[in-house]
Amino acid sequence: MVILGLLTWHQGHLYKDKETLWRDTLSRNPDCWLANVNYGQILYKRRQTDEAIRHYRVAIQVEPDYWEPYFYMGMIMFNLEQFDKTTRYFHGMLQSRSKMNNKDKIVIDYKNKRVLLQRADTAAVVVYDKLGTILMAQGKLDEAIDNFRQSLQIHPFFSTPHMNLGKALLQKGQLQEAINHLREAVQLNQELGEAHNYLALALLKQGKTDEAVHFAGRAAKLTKHKNVTALKTLAAAYAAAGRFPEAIETAEKAIKLAIFSGRKELTKEINKHLELYKAGQPCHELAVKKTGE
pTM for this model (two decimals): 0.86
Cβ(165)–Cβ(152) below 8 Å: yes
Question: Confidence band (pLDDT; 50, 70, 90) for 187?
Answer: very high
What band does 49 get if pLDDT is binned at 50, 70 and 90? very high
Spatial separation of the C-alpha atoms in residues 240 and 246, rounded to whole Å: 11
Query: Which residues make beta-bridge pairs with 108?
Result: 115
Question: In this predicted structure, what is the pLDDT of residue 285?
Answer: 75
Q: Backbone phi, then psi, for 142, in 5-degree steps?
A: -65, -40
pLDDT higher than 90, residue 15: no
Strand pairing partners for 107? Answer: 116
Tell me phi and psi for residue 243, to 5 degrees.
-100, 70
Q: How high is the pLDDT of residue 79?
A: 94
Give the residue, 117 or 39, on which the prediction is more confident: 39
What's the CA gap between 169 and 116, in Å, rounded?
A: 30
More confident call, 111 vs 265: 265
Confidence band (pLDDT; 50, 70, 90) for 99?
confident
The pLDDT score that the predictor gives to residue 167 is 97
pLDDT in tens, 133-162: 999 999 999 999 999 999 999 999 899 999
Residue 288's pLDDT is what? 59
CATH number of this structure's domain 1-157: 1.25.40.10
pLDDT for the residue 117:
73
Q: Is the pLDDT of residue 2 over 60?
A: no
Average pLDDT of every residue of the chain: 89
**How much is the pLDDT for 109?**
61
110 pLDDT tier (thresholds 50, 70, 90): low
Does the pLDDT at position 293 exceed 70?
no
pLDDT at 76: 96
Query: Residue ranges per domain, the chain?
Result: 1-157
Burial class for 85, CB neighbours closer than 10 Å (0-12, 13-18, 19+): middle
- Residues sharing a CB contact under 8 Å with residue 248, sequence separation 6 or more, in sequence order: 235, 274, 277, 278
Confidence of residue 9 (pLDDT cuts 50, 70, 90): very low
Q: What is the DSSP letter of 109?
A: E
pLDDT single digits (tens) 71-86: 999 999 999 999 999 9
